[in-house]
Amino acid sequence: MMTEKEETVEACGSPDTVLSAKRAGRASLLDSGEDFEMLDEEDIDDDPPPLEDAGGGKKNKPDGSEETGADEDADTSAPLEEWLDVLGNDQLKKKVLEAGKGRDSRPQKGQNVKINLKTYLNDGTLVDEQPELLFTLGDGDVIQALDLTVQLMEMGEKALIQADAKYAYGARGSVDPEVPANAELSLEVELLEATDAPDLELLPPAERIALASHKRERGNMHYQHGDYAFAVNSYSIALQITESSSKVDITPEEEKELMDVKVKCLNNMAASQLKLDHYDAALKSCVSALAHQPDNIKALFRMGKVLAMQGEYAEAIQILRKALKLEPSNKTIHAELSKLVKKHSEQKGAEQAMYKKMLGNPASSSSSTQKHQAKSSWGLSWKWLFGATAVAIGGVALSVVIAARN
């Protein structure tokens, strides 16, 4: 199945909406703008998984006192020219360059924030510059370094952030911006404004679709970087947007488009959950997708994969045969189906061998019993014949004796 290049989406515009915008030269990661190609390899909590190392808990210092994480440090401001160790692991640090308007002006998770951002490599190379970048704080719309540190900034503050690759673009790096693998970054950030997220019930359908698509595309980026838990997080947020009730009129076409986004999120979530070995959750996602689109090829394929992972080969084969009937030329389904048929056959052979070992060989036992019965029957026949012959000879001899006496 053909795939297109990844589409990177950054939201810009008014603080009440998040709009998708394509970067030049970048195409969609998904085939036909839908979701991932069928993978050769493939319980989610009610709440989305939290950001890694979010620093919500307490740690013990060497002297025995307690050290707070990022959330609890929110009530203290780092003096100018001093580094704040955000997570206590020396891998994410923040230094105030220009003070802001005080702690009360700090943004809250779930708000839309606007920042000016410059991204540098350790050698000072400028790799990205994004004026007035708009994102939802805490939703995973940006790299973790920003999600974790912007919430510690005051309105109008300018800060320098040093981030280990773990909280930036990781072991894979990035194409846009062009960041090498395992690269540490320096970020210059200025917090411009923070506004409450829009009321989904009052959001126009077109903006609601754009917002859900933006969260889904962010999930796609996490998936491509192997951050499957973060991908599930983004897809969960997108699903909440598609499933929220609306007080605004929506046309049949917009409703269909919103449903398409929902099914794509469910399909991609199933792929992420498969990577995390969350088979029950992945199965639930596939069932939900098929409830809306019973003939969705990718939902059928992934459902077959999940059932196979759970050892339900017969049911998995049935599902994949349905998918193949809908798309007979799909080589990926052909290969997966052939593999499962072989595994199912081997499983049945192993089960039969196990049953024979447990119960013995009924055929041999039956044959032995029949031979024993035949032998016994033949022995009885000879004994009866011998007895009958002896009786006959005795009778003849008795007749001869009586005749001689007469």
pLDDT by residue (tens digit) across 12-65?
333 344 333 333 333 333 333 345 444 333 333 333 333 343 333 444 444 444
How far is Cα 159 from Cα 164, in angstroms, rounded to an integer? Answer: 16
User: Which has the higher per-residue pLDDT, 381 or 276?
Assistant: 276
Radius of gyration of the chain (CA): 37
Q: Could you read off the pLDDT of 50-90 as tens digits, one per residue?
A: 334 333 344 444 444 444 444 444 444 555 668 999 999 99
Of 52-56, 117-121, 254-258, minimum mean pLDDT range: 52-56
Residue 158 has pLDDT above 60, yes or no: yes
Contacts of 89 (CB under 8 A, 6+ apart): 53
Q: Could you read off the pLDDT of 133-149 as tens digits, one per residue?
A: 999 999 999 999 999 99
What integer is the mean pLDDT of 129-135? 96
Q: pLDDT at position 6, please?
A: 40
Average pLDDT, the chain: 78
How far is Cα 296 from Cα 53, in angstroms, rounded to an integer? Answer: 37
- For 99-241, list the strands marked E by DSSP: 112-121, 126-136, 158-163, 185-195
Of 98-112, 259-273, 378-392, minimum mean pLDDT range: 378-392
User: Which has the higher per-residue pLDDT, 120 or 3?
Assistant: 120
Tokens of residue 206, six digits: 């077109």
Q: pLDDT at position 402, please?
A: 56
CATH architecture of 35-197: Roll (3.10)
pLDDT-based confidence at 104, cuts 50/70/90? Answer: very high
Residue 96: strand pairing partners: 159
Q: pLDDT at position 26, please?
A: 36
Alpha helices for 163-203 (secondary structure H): none
How far is Cα 355 from Cα 129, in angstroms, rounded to an integer? Answer: 68
318-354 CB burial, b ≥16 within 10 A, e <16? ebbbbbbeeeeebebbeebbeebeeebeeeeeeeeee
CATH of domain 202-353: 1.25.40.10
Q: Say what the pTM is.
A: 0.67
